[in-house]
Amino acid sequence: MLQIAAIDRNGNERSIEAPPGITLMEAIRNEGMDELLAQCGGCCSCATCHVFIEQSGEGVIPQMSDDENDLLDSSDHRKPQSRLSCQIRLTPEMSGLRVAIAPED
């Protein structure tokens, strides 16, 4: 299991345990953090799973695709550390990852 820290929009941090192989979005949603809407269910078409990577853990997070990049451009809250959490599949090396849920667009 990986250890992940997720920070909600009120600044409350929650510790999450997640198995490798699921996406970061699924890990956050499984924890009941419903403010991460993930409306498209992980199809890279809604951008409501937007997070900021505060700390990447020891593992390298894969580069974003052109589709993810284009979709993030539609957000008013995009920052250099922005990612769509449905596009990050967890690997054991990502343990220690710390993310914050981005403001709603």
Residue ranges that bind ligand FES, judged by CB under 6 A: 25, 38-40, 42-49, 84, 86
Our CB check for ligand FES shows the closer of 45 and 65 to be 45
Query: Cβ 97 to ligand FES, closest distance in Å?
Result: 17
Query: Cβ 7 to ligand FES, closest distance in Å?
Result: 18
b or e along 20-39 (b: 16 or more beta carbons within 10 Å of the residue's beta carbon)?
eeebbbbbbbebebeebebe
Residue of closest CB approach to ligand FES: 86
User: Between the CA atoms of 38, 11, 81 and 1, what dihedral angle is there, to the nearest 10 degrees?
Assistant: -70
Our CB check for ligand FES shows the closer of 58 and 73 to be 73
Query: Cβ 82 to ligand FES, closest distance in Å?
Result: 12
